[in-house]
Chain A
């Protein structure tokens, strides 16, 4: 069955037109990712209007290509100029730029490219194998569970805002509220239209996304008049030849870093809201901790390029697993992909892979193909990158603002969408300026309908709200939502307040309860392991006399 689906997807994507579109997508993504100030999400968002007229597998393959290209593009700018092209390649510059300055830019680029490729392939394999399994678990979900899953996704996304968690939660709630404007999903009653017929249809999700994300980012990019007139070449970009053979040898010597970092990337991608920007730092940090020579990190060593580049390319596989299996986008880019599926009347849910195998497997296959294309195109795009870096930021921003107008109008052929773009552009700009994270708001906009529909379904079954807290899966999501909400507080007080000693054991005890309630064989075993780990941690801390000691600011050491 799986082989049949893979073959069908290959046939669907195996046209010259699709291949050309994918190549253009990867090339565009590589360039977009390489330009500092232009995010991958922005590139994917701006690609969406072009895919309206395409069949769903072809359109999604094009978007996946942009995504894969964008993930790898950031390393070019990071290594050659020291300015990360995207937030997901920040850690690449720590060792990539010093290695390039030491006179080995070709090796640095080669290591970056092959690490990206390896991370992408590992993540693609996990995507194909894990997504259908996770979807099977998702079939157990009832409306109560789904509602709680959405609440968990919003909470964890907001908690990633760290000390600004309240702002993150406000942004998430605002996103949910934006989605209520217009006719309600369940019975079609008008809400918040203030007498306007235009507002009855609500705000178009894509126009809101482009406004919040792309429009507001472009305005930030041109805020400084002096910086806006500068181009990247002022920083001294040079053309180099990528040293593929040497790079492959270096990577093969450090395959454990590749595997570990890719797994970190996939896991980070599965968590809603946590993207490449977190994964690359996390993988770099882990590689440094595991290294026999941590002091060499930052001086231009291969390990410091392999770890962040493997992880940031693996992130999207994880995010796609979550989106395709459960219909919950892992990050902003997969939120846009979800929007693309909705435009093609496909609603991602646990039944998505079973009901729409052609589209699902087209996404899997295009992820694979795009990763190979990225490898082939990287050398060529490096020359284009050098040309693009000569363009001044204000020219790019001005032209893309013009593109935004045309692209957004093309969604529904109505002028109102372009007004939506500009109003949400202003809102996004203000939110960024006042320190409100945009990711929870975007997830709120994407997931608002799903939350309300499932709440309506749950209420139609019974008006009793106790199943939200007594059903195993909803209790599970509720529990981890609570602990993720408290996590920023825990991080802030770790090593300083005694209650933080109990955070992990209590979290383990609490999570084991719904796992036991799920029944079967595997889950109670898992629950027992989690419970035992919590008890062991508590026992060790008790043995240490509940002592705290802060090492290097935050690290906790039990005596």
Chain B
């Protein structure tokens, strides 16, 4: 995807986004009191945002690609290249989603330590020396933080099903 297409697509996505949200403003209840209706301010913002999106679209259709912001040319073409290029952020997002999805079961301590341990291994490599180091880092860092919040600041962090039994 070249830059011209990419910017045009972003502008179109923004316009669709504005359209959806503008439609959603009709679901906002209008009370019979107050001067500024609850939907007025969001509509003003959406109007401005739509206008700016149109300018953005026209600007990039007229000017073409911005050569100063081109992506890394070392990237392999195709989906495989894209995944390889972005693999670390994708792993971070993916593992964070798993961490959140399992939070009710594992809780913040076990879930947090597991998340950091797996993430460090994924980003830094799975060799034996790293496994021990990463386990220690995850346990000390998240365990320390969990203890600080739980015992020091009195914050009730989710214990999860496993620790919740004790």
Assess whether A189 is in contact with B29, with CB atoms less than 8 Å apart: yes
Q: Which of B101-148 contact A (CB under 8 A)?
A: 103-104, 108, 112, 115-116, 119-120, 123-125, 134, 137-138, 141-142, 145-146, 148
Residues of B near A426 (CB, < 8 A) are 93
Per DSSP, are chain A's interface residues mostly helix, strand or loop, or mixed?
A: helix
- Whether the pair B31, A180 counts as a contact (CB closer than 8 A) is no
Would A413 and B156 count as touching, CB distance under 8 A? Answer: yes
Inter-chain contact A406/B149, CB cutoff 8 Å: yes
The SS class assigned to the B binding surface is helix
Within 8 A of B (CB), among A151-181: 166-167, 169-170, 173-174, 176-177, 180
Give 1 or 0 for each of A82-114: 1 = CB within 8 Å of chain B CB. Answer: 000000000000000000000000000000000
Known: A53-B154, A406-B146. A177 touches B45 (CB 8 A): yes
B4 at the interface (CB under 8 A from A): no
Which residue on chain A has the smallest CB distance to residue B72? Answer: A224
Q: Is the CB of B41 within 8 A of A422?
A: no
Quick check: A401 and B116 within 8 Å, CB to CB?
A: yes
Task: Please tell me if the beta carbons of A459 and B145 are within 8 angstroms of each other in the complex.
Answer: no
Q: How far is the CA of A192 from the CA of B22 in the complex (A)?
A: 10
Interface size on A, residues (CB 8 A): 60
B141 contacts A399, C-beta separation under 8 Å: yes
Q: Which residues of B contact A403 (CB under 8 A)?
A: 141-142, 145
Closest to A405 in B: B112
Q: A186-B36, A394-B123 are in contact. Are A177 and B92 (CB under 8 A)?
A: no
Partner of B124, one of A169, A194, A229, A463: A229
Let me know if A189 and B42 touch, CB within 8 A: no
Contacts of A477-499 to chain B: CB distance below 8 A: none
- In the complex, the answer to whether A402 meets B138 with C-beta atoms within 8 Å is yes
Asked if residues B45 and A395 are in contact (CB atoms below 8 Å), the reply is: no
Contact with B along A389-411 (1 / 0, CB 8 A): 00010110111011101100110
Which residues does chain A contribute within 8 Å of B155, judged by CB atoms?
52-53, 409-410, 413
Shortest distance in angstroms between B39's beta carbon and chain A's nearest beta carbon? 7
Kindly report which residue of chain B lies nearest to residue A51, judged by CB atoms.
Answer: B153
- A223 touching B89, Cβ below 8 Å: yes
Q: Tell whether, in the assembled complex, residue B116 and residue A402 are in contact, meaning their CB atoms are under 8 Å apart.
A: yes
Instruction: Specify which chain A residues have a CB less than 8 angstroms from the CB of B146 in the assembled complex.
Output: 406
Residues 418-458 of chain A, each 1 if its beta carbon lies under 8 Å from chain B, else 0? 11001001100100001100000000000000011001100
Chain B residue nearest in CB terms to A429: B89
Contact at B99–A405, with CB atoms within 8 Å?
A: yes
> Which residue on chain B has the smallest CB distance to residue A419?
B100
Cβ of B88 within 8 Å of any chain A Cβ, yes or no, is yes
- Shortest CB-to-CB span from B5 to chain A, Å, is 13
Shortest C-beta distance, B89 to chain A (Å), equals: 4
Give min CB distance, B98 to chain A, whole Å: 11
Q: Which residue of A lies closest to B48 (CB)?
A: A173
Q: Does A187 contact B (CB under 8 A)?
A: yes
B interface, CB within 8 angstroms of A: 6-7, 10, 14, 21, 24-25, 28-29, 31, 33-36, 38-39, 41-42, 45-46, 48-49, 52-53, 55-56, 59, 66, 69, 86-89, 92-93, 96-97, 99-100, 103-104, 108, 112, 115-116, 119-120, 123-125, 134, 137-138, 141-142, 145-146, 148-149, 153-158
Task: Give 14 A-B pairs besides A222-B89, A392-B124, A460-B35 with Cβ atoms closer than 8 angstroms.
Answer: A170-B49, A170-B53, A398-B137, A402-B119, A402-B141, A403-B145, A405-B100, A405-B112, A406-B142, A406-B149, A410-B155, A415-B103, A425-B96, A460-B36
